[in-house]
Amino acid sequence: MLYVKDKNFISKENTVVTFGKFDGIHNGHRLLIEKAVRIGHEQGIKVVLCTFNMDNWNAKPQKAITTPDERAYICEKYGIDVLYEYPFDNEIAGMLPEEFLKYFLKEKLNAKFVVIGADWRFGKNRSGDAALLKAYEDKYCYSSYVIEKETYNNTEISSTWIRNEIEKSDLSTVKKLLGYDYFFKGKVVHGKQLGRTIGFPTLNLIPSPNKILPEYGVYESEVVIDNHMYKGVTNIGIRPTIDDGTYVTVETFVLDFDEDVYDSDVIIRLKKFIRPEQKFDSVNGLKKQLEADIAFVRG
């Protein structure tokens, strides 16, 4: 998959394009992607997912379900050929709806098919909608498809709903809405290595400050290393027993694994909340609790 962040990117090939924020790429988003991929396969053309990087636009960016790297990982698994993450700026914000369509569909992406959600809006003051997209089909030589919102328990699935469930550590509901386990993807960094001295070496990730986090605590997890999956015990929080609490880590003890994977990319999938993070009176107390947590995960 090609991951593009360059404003100057132009597709010389015909494409099918789907637009949206795509935070989390939940089951609702997946309907758009599946439709676009199906068209791409039928027509023999590239599938482009176009989204916008709002980091330099919002004074206080909303916490995200997925980091850009995590979103790219999901897009590739779902069959996207090009992930186009366009930097949102004053020029884009001020475009009238027709200007937006001409710029992205005709001049940038050479789109022959467009797939959107029913609530997608575009152009200045979000004044463009599905009906307007349909109205310009002949002028800009594309066909459009509008996908209705996906629901769960008669409620429309949204990224806002998923963020709320993540904050409550309701991982079961989160998985049903996303279609996959909530996860972290990142490089393993060096920690204080105290875990190794007490017999529990861990993999440490530093989560993005823009990523929404569940409750600080201990979780049953799955760890993917070099395409191999292992069971894990993951602590999310500030490690109050052994640290000064100045930064958050995602620290995982991987069962039946003891290899050096520093600087390697790993994926930590959260399966179940075990207990809140707590401060122990001693390292020995922490060690005993870790033994109990590991026994719980082993079943």
Domains and CATH numbers, the chain: 2-155 (3.40.50.620), 182-298 (2.40.30.30)
pLDDT for the residue numbered 32:
98
**Rama region for 161: left / alpha / beta (φ>0; ψ in -120 to 50; rest):** alpha
Here the tokens at position 182 are 């909530």
Q: Is the pLDDT of residue 112 over 80?
A: yes
Confidence at 193, pLDDT banded by 50, 70, 90: low
Residue 78: closest CA among 117, 113, 29, 120: 29
Confidence at 199, pLDDT banded by 50, 70, 90: low
Confidence at 283, pLDDT banded by 50, 70, 90: confident
145: phi then psi, degrees, rounded to nearest 5:
-130, 130
Confidence at 200, pLDDT banded by 50, 70, 90: confident
Confidence at 197, pLDDT banded by 50, 70, 90: low
pTM listed for this prediction = 0.92
Instruction: Give tens-digit pLDDT for 31-51.
Output: 999 999 999 999 999 999 999
Here the tokens at position 275 are 């207990």
Q: Mean pLDDT score of the chain, rounded to an integer?
A: 93
Whether 270 and 219 have beta carbons less than 8 Å apart is answered as: yes
pLDDT for the residue numbered 279:
83
Look up tokens 């017999």; give the residue.
199
State the greatest distance between any 2 C-alpha atoms of the chain, in Å, as a whole number. 72
Confidence at 238, pLDDT banded by 50, 70, 90: confident
Rounded average pLDDT over 204-223: 96
Strand partners, 86: 52
Confidence at 242, pLDDT banded by 50, 70, 90: low
Instruction: Give tens-digit pLDDT for 138-168.
Output: 999 999 999 999 999 999 999 999 999 999 9
How far is residue 263's CA from residue 277's CA, in Å, rounded to a whole number? 26
